[in-house]
Structure 1
């Protein structure tokens, strides 16, 4: 956890290889694959500006369910991370929200910021990838840009067990077009007043 805090303080982002236990990763993968029930088309914006525009964002999402054992285990791991980051960096992180996201072949998410208009409550973005045997030809990489949104800082392949954490307000990013079904859990640590 100290390495995560140090890297976030130094660069504002970190890419981790397999930070979660293997048994939890397997359960999360199976949970995301088990059924399309409860998944719905993702939107952009909030409130009256909320829209579904497939040419900008093509994933379907399902929020994690605290009453489900697998989801609960992941949320507990993230709660521990929240606590440790608050201790190390005094971020005032208050809670965490997250959803499963599935991008079908031919879909992506255009360059955007995770801070919605209005309250700037998202502090840290997390993405955990659930794709076994992912190949370069499958596409679907997350591209992280420097704050001005021009130069690329990192390109992250959505390989099973990889997690990226970054400052939500600082880094525009995009999901390149996927050529295979791409699964992940995307979430945000937020400050009070969310």
Structure 2
């Protein structure tokens, strides 16, 4: 009986370890895809994402400080909220995701945008962004403080995570009109619409 119990716990521990490695791998890929979408398609075309990422892009544009710095700074209090309600694994995966996102946005900073075509930016950029963010959420992490709030609110309402995030971002995209211009704000909103649809599809 004792040997069976030890064997059972050993198998469960190995399964948990494998599960964590799998989550880390997918979170890594999701964060990397998000960085590619941001640096190679969106930011260099003055197209912003929503949430804390969008705020970080605006602040980076205004101060010339790298966006990764603002991502870490502004997201920190939201991670503490996430830790209180969503657990240790969530905060670990989220911090890992933000670290990977910050690292790759820094690495890709010198690389020029792969296109300036607004339609490609909207559909390819929005699709990559949504798939990257959705993958991180699906495997237990988050790249953005507003996503943490959206996850919590979605558990207590009939609204999806994407719908809640879109509500938060209405105010961010409105401010983009005054900073980047009307055209860029409209392209940003269209890009995020594609992204949020992709997020909902990815996490189903």
Higher fraction of strand: 1
Under a length normalisation based on structure 2, what TM-score does the superposition of the two structures give?
Answer: 0.29
Under a length normalisation based on structure 1, what TM-score does the superposition of the two structures give?
Answer: 0.30
Which of the two has higher C-alpha Rg?
A: 2
Higher fraction of helix: 2
